[in-house]
Amino acid sequence: MIHFQPSTALERLPEQFFAHLVGRAQSMIEAGHDVINLGQGNPDLPTPIRIVEALQQAAANPLHHKYSPFRGHHFLKEAVATYYQREYGVNLDPENEVAILPGSKTGLVELSQCLLNPGDVALLPDPGYPDYLSGIALAHAEPVLMPLLEQNQFLPDYDAIDADKLTKAKLMFLNYPNNPTAAVADAHFFEQTVQLAKQHHICICHDFAYSSISYDGNKARSFLQTEGAKDVGIEMFTLSKAYNMAGWRVGFAVGNRSVIEQINLMQDHLYVSLFGAIQEAAAEALLGPQNETIALTQVYQDRRDHFISLLQQSGWGVTSPQGTFFCWLKVPSGFSSQEFADCLLEHAHVVVAPGNGFGSCGEGFVRAGLVTEKERLIEAAERIAKLDLLHK
């Protein structure tokens, strides 16, 4: 059999961090161990029944048995605009400021290919979602990392960015509520971001994947609520987290018209939009009652409170997350991130993601997900406590 060499673009792609994590957990399960997997971000609860029923009814419509419009149905774009006006007070033109995506991950990777040429600079958070790097690699652009440090509340310090790199930068990725650090951003930070973007002509991409998951009565800010935000960037939204629709693969980008047009043009050549019935279900998710989403955040908060409380009682000085369904936990003294994650997997059969997998500034932390039953989170915390690793 002939072995065909991959393109140099494929060879530039970073290793899929989560695929490696899944493989290690699966090996332990196959060895007969009861593994509690807190290493991934896959929502564990079902999609609300009203959304499922909308899909079932729409699937019988012969209109949806044909190709969908390349750029998505107008009714879904209108639903997105209605949602943003209702939730954030942001006005959107459905036709020119909304792009329908087959999951926001797709859009995040496509964006670099839309905006960047070989050698261009893209700014991205460290630690951050690994797939930001994938699009940058495919575009043969240069990633420049912005450290997210605890002493800065896990916000980038724009004054610390190399002046030459800042001048060359064309794109910046941000993500709040943040994966993996679970930090949130305030209005002042986004105002600084808009000012920087205007000064240096940088396109901002705010990854708003965890928009609905903020705790203790707080509500996450949309980047587009900031004056001038649409002049300099876009926001990407997924229905995966707010509505437990991860497997449905539906999201959207909103904001700057020129960027939205470039995303649409890219997708004209790659896809024929989404199955129309899924688009109808997505519109139902956005336009219908939001009580399930509110209740879901309460579920995560209850899980967070039990899990973090038990870890703190065991002597582990961890901080409670402000948003997302992740906990960003400082590794006890004497361990690296990978060593601590390996130790938990080997001796407690608990999977966490080592922080260095999200970037070098993630060293010293592990990420644990709240996307499993409260009882299993309690058991995971109890297993960790029994190891007495905090006093190594």
Spell out where 192-261 has E strands: 203-207, 233-238, 251-255
Model pLDDT, residue 225: 98
pLDDT at residue 187, as a whole number: 97
Total Cβ atoms within 10 A of residue 288 = 16
Residue with tokens 């290493």: 39
Instruction: With CA atoms as reference, report the closest residue to 235 among 267, 208, 214.
Output: 208
Taking residue 4's Cβ as centre, other Cβ atoms within 10 Å add up to 6
**CA–CA gap between residue 206 and residue 190 (Å, rounded):** 10
The answer to whether the peptide bond before residue 156 is cis (omega within 30 degrees of 0) is no
Domains of the chain: 8-46+292-391 (3.90.1150.10), 49-287 (3.40.640.10)
Q: How far apart are CA 94 and CA 252, in angstroms?
A: 11
DSSP per-residue codes, 114-134? HH--TT-EEEEEES--THHHH
Residue-by-residue pLDDT tens, the chain, 392 positions:
988 888 888 888 887 766 777 777 788 888 888 999 999 888 999 999 999 999 999 999 999 999 999 999 999 999 999 999 999 999 999 999 999 999 999 999 999 999 999 999 999 999 999 899 999 999 999 999 999 999 999 999 999 999 999 999 999 999 999 999 999 999 999 999 999 999 999 999 999 999 999 999 999 999 999 999 999 999 999 999 999 999 999 999 999 999 999 999 999 999 988 999 999 999 999 999 999 999 999 999 999 999 999 999 998 989 999 999 999 999 998 899 999 999 999 999 999 999 999 999 999 999 999 999 999 999 999 999 998 776 54
> What share of residues in the chain are helix, strand, coil (percent, to 5)?
50, 15, 35
pLDDT at 388: 79
Question: How confident is the model at residue 391, as a pLDDT?
Answer: 55
The region, left, alpha or beta by phi > 0 then psi within -120 to 50, assigned to residue 32 is left
C-alpha count within 13 angstroms, C-beta hemisphere, residue 109? 14
Written as one string, the DSSP assignment of 51-66 is HHHHHHHHHT-GGGGS
β pairing state of 353-354 and 365-369: antiparallel
Q: Is 46 left (phi over 0), alpha (psi -120 to 50) or beta?
A: beta
Structure tokens at 331: 């590794």
- Cβ–Cβ < 8 Å for 307, 370: yes
